[in-house]
Amino acid sequence: MAHDSYFREYTSSSERETTQIAKDFADILQIGDVVALKGELGSGKTFFVKKVVEELGFDGYVSSPTFTILNIYEASTYLYHFDFYRLKNVEEIEKIGFFDLLMEEGIFFIEWPEKVEKLLPDEYFEIRIDIVNGTHRKIRIKKIIRNEDVPCQN
């Protein structure tokens, strides 16, 4: 992933619009990228990942990994889809081999990244989805770059 900034802000009023936003985003993804998706239950994190994964060439069934914690889809590269909603602590995350998996060749999608914030790489995409109402969503995508040379803000 190159060291450049990226920020997009959208309002989606339908699944169809979100689908287009997800497809456009998929087109910039590269092997090794990590995508962290934040937003309350039902905001559309899994929906977004499903559309990205389809754009990346996976034509199978995409389900929420809430109970399995990890789904792996095979497209032109491996797509790792995590959901940490049910995880309680870092030990559990270690147990599923999260660190080792991040070393694998592929693209990584993480729902509920709040649970692993400190374990995320120095560079990743953060997607924030907010429910405005009904089928309206605010979607913000930004590249997070945590640079050791820059003093921490907090």
User: Given the complex with ligand ADP, which of 11 and 76 has the nearer CB atom?
Assistant: 11
User: Given the complex with ligand ADP, which of 69 and 148 has the nearer CB atom?
Assistant: 69
Q: Rounded to an integer, what is the distance from CA 150 to the centroid of its chain?
A: 25
Instruction: Give me the amino acid identity at 145.
Output: I
51 binds Mg ion (CB under 5 A): no
Residue 14's binding partner out of Mg ion, ligand ADP, none, with CB under 5 to 8 Å set by partner kind: ligand ADP
Binding site for ligand ADP (CB under 6 A): 12, 14-15, 18, 39, 41-47, 64, 111, 135, 137
Residue 54's binding partner out of Mg ion, ligand ADP, none, with CB under 5 to 8 Å set by partner kind: none
User: Given the complex with ligand ADP, which of 33 and 130 has the nearer CB atom?
Assistant: 130
Between the CA of residue 83 and those of 10, 36, 54, 65, 91, what are the distances in Å?
Answer: 24, 10, 18, 5, 16
List of residues 6+ apart from 64 with CB closer than 8 A: 46, 83, 111
User: Given the complex with Mg ion, which of 123 and 128 has the nearer CB atom?
Assistant: 128
What does DSSP say about strands 123-133 and 34-38: parallel, antiparallel, or unpaired? parallel
CA atoms lying within 13 Å on the CB side of residue 88: 0
**x/- binding map, residues 20-49, to Mg ion, per CB under 5 A?**
-------------------------xx---
Residue with tokens 């605010």: 138
Contacting positions for Mg ion (CB under 5 A): 45-46, 64, 111
